[in-house]
């Protein structure tokens, strides 16, 4: 599947445990990828960070897409099936994200809190129901997923490996989900610096379901990234 990064370098991610990197080819096989089932938390390129949004599609998805497109930025959308209404009722926004060149990825069908205690069969159902929706809406299945609550234990790695998914977590959490102000969220990114302690770029944890994130935080982060040469124009 077509995989784009943020701002707009092709995003390659390193493993939490090793410095393995996802190949930068724009098209790859889901099932044949040796990295399926592995957790990635960082970008392979220092000095860049990945804009990655959870929990949509929602009321602000199209507005966020418009903002990103106007800035020439690319992002990853980790969509759910039912969290903020049925994905089929927001199909236009999903199509807009994909057709604009953003990465469309999975965040499970129902966003369960108990992901790491579910059986392989239950996890497979969560993923395949959303896969079916993606195929019906945009004609493709994702290669990447972000586990709800970043839960990567239990049967999650086995299920994702079986299904051909790479698991994405984060290296900088905006804490927008925790009621942090826009200024405080922005400072978390500034404090993280241009790269992780082991020299890689950052992957963000953001939520497109908060108006303040979409309308205030994202423009600030894009402006800051461009001013500090953390992205391509």
Catalytic residues: 54, 207
Nearest alpha-carbon partner for 100 in 145, 65, 50, 150? 65
Q: Give φ, ψ of 97 to 5 degrees.
A: -60, -45
Contact 65, 97 (CB under 8 A): yes
Please give the Cα distance from 100 to 23 (Å, whole number).
Answer: 22
3-state helix, strand, coil in the chain (%, to 5): 40, 15, 45
Using the structure block, give the residue that is written with the tokens 């445990």.
Answer: 17
The stretches of 44-168 forming alpha helices (DSSP H) are 61-71, 91-99, 120-138, 156-163
């Amino acid at each position: 599947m077509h995989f784009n990064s943020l701002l707009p370098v092709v995003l390659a991610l390193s493993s939490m445990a090793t410095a393995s990197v996802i190949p930068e080819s724009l098209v790859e096989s889901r099932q044949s990828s040796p990295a399926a089932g592995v957790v990635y938390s960082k970008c392979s390129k220092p000095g860049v960070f990945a804009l990655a949004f959870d929990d949509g599609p929602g009321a602000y998805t199209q507005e966020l897409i418009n903002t990103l497109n106007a800035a020439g930025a690319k992002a990853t959308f980790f969509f759910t099936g039912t969290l903020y209404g049925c994905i089929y009722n927001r199909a236009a926004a999903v199509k807009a994200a994909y057709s604009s060149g953003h990465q469309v990825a999975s965040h499970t069908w129902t966003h369960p809190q108990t992901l790491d205690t579910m059986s392989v069969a239950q996890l497979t159902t969560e993923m395949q129901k959303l896969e079916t929706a993606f195929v019906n809406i945009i004609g493709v299945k994702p290669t990447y997923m972000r586990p709800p609550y970043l839960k990567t234990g239990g049967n999650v790695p086995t299920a994702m490996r079986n299904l051909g998914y790479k698991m994405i977590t984060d290296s900088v959490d905006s804490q927008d989900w925790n009621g942090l102000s826009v200024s405080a969220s922005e400072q978390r990114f500034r404090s993280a610096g241009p790269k992780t302690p082991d020299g890689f770029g950052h992957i963000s944890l953001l939520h497109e379901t908060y108006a303040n994130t979409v309308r205030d935080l994202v423009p600030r982060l894009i402006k800051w990234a461009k001013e500090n040469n953390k992205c391509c124009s």
